[in-house]
Amino acid sequence: MASKFTELAIDCADPRGLARFWCAVLGYEVQDEDDGLVTIGSPTVPEGRNRPGPVPPTLTFARVPEGKTVKNRVHLDVNPTDREQDDEVRRLLGLGARRADVGQGDESWVVLTDPEGNEFCVLASRHP
């Protein structure tokens, strides 16, 4: 059996604030919170250790002293599930996301950043 992708760790300045943003984006909830560390995950899927199939990954936000300085080498792509891409982009901008230009040109996806400047894409036609 191969490994499963179950968690993504994200360094940040404000774990609680960034966790709130991503909970609103993904429909997740806080699963664990400790000093400088917040983990969020899907409220409808049990913990993935004994689950044989795909598991929605948790996101863990860890406080670090240094700020973000360059474009992310890894980023999230999100897919709107109940609205069109333009409507989802407006919703995310309302939550605190910002538009970003990383040299993408005219593409079908929209690049945004979360409140701490981490890039992510809102896809147009790919559905999970």
**pLDDT interval class at 26 (50, 70, 90):** very high
Query: Which one has a higher pLDDT value, 1 or 7?
Result: 7
The pLDDT > 70 percentage for the chain reads: 88
Highest mean pLDDT among 13-22, 64-73, 100-109: 13-22
The confidence score (pLDDT) of residue 53 equals 63
Which DSSP string corresponds to 70-128?
S--SS-EEE--SSS-HHHHHHHHHHHT-EE--SS--S-SSEEEE-TT--EEEE-SS---
